[in-house]
Chains A and B, each alone.
Chain A
Amino acid sequence: GQQVMQIPQYQHVQEGEDFTTYCNSSTTLSNIQWYKQRPGGHPVFLIQLVKSGEVKKQKRLTFQFGEAKKNSSLHITATQTTDVGTYFCAGKKSNTGKLIFGQGTTLQVKP
């Protein structure tokens, strides 16, 4: 079945350092989505990538979708304490409602 793997599971950084989380799918995806979940909260949609090789930016966050549409990454430049939380990637194999999540990367930022 469709699997989405995400690494690392945890990352501790000093405030101001960069952070990257990687996502890999066992199958080609039609699109990939990224979510952020703050401690004790629910996942919140950040962005969706659809095209092969697509790169999108949201302020200090850069999202990439691989050429083969099987991997993706999220890079945060100069982390802040407000970036703390768990970041999930989630992939759709086709344009259906079936969205499969990776295990998530939990980011801790030391001030």
Chain B
Amino acid sequence: NAGVTQTPKFQVLKTGQSMTLQCAQDMNHEYMSWYRQDPGMGLRLIHYSVGAGITDQGEVPNGYNVSRSTTEDFPLRLLSAAPSQTSVYFCASSYQGASGGYTFGSGTRLTVV
């Protein structure tokens, strides 16, 4: 049981490049979310999903796309990377319902130069 797996762990991009951050969970969780963490700003919600085929915007969705074709996978796409997207990205998942604390992946540290 691997939990929430994020790849890659580290990435350096040039401004304007695109890439996909991968997230997979093997716990059959309905809910999945992407957060970015910047110093002093806490965790800010980018996009979230309540099930396969359903996604919605969070607090800071601009510049990012998501899709949820399966329960297990929730990739985050950066369309045209900007230095402001330098951050640590966390994917998280939980069960639906009142008992649902989120399980976080170990994060992807992204630097855009």
Contacts and interface: CB of A to CB of B under 8 A. Distances in A.
Contacts of A102: 42
Interface residues of A, number: 27
Contacts of B98: 31, 48, 50, 95
Given A42-B104, A88-B43, A97-B48, A48 B99 contact: yes
A7 interface: no
A99 B40 contact: no
A103 interface: yes
A88 B100 CA distance: 16
Interface residues of B, number: 32
Contacts of B107: 42
B94 interface: yes
Contacts of A47: 101
Nearest to A46: B101
A103 to B, nearest CB: 4
Interface in A1-29: 1, 6, 9
Nearest to A3: B59
B59 A96 contact: no
B104 A98 contact: no
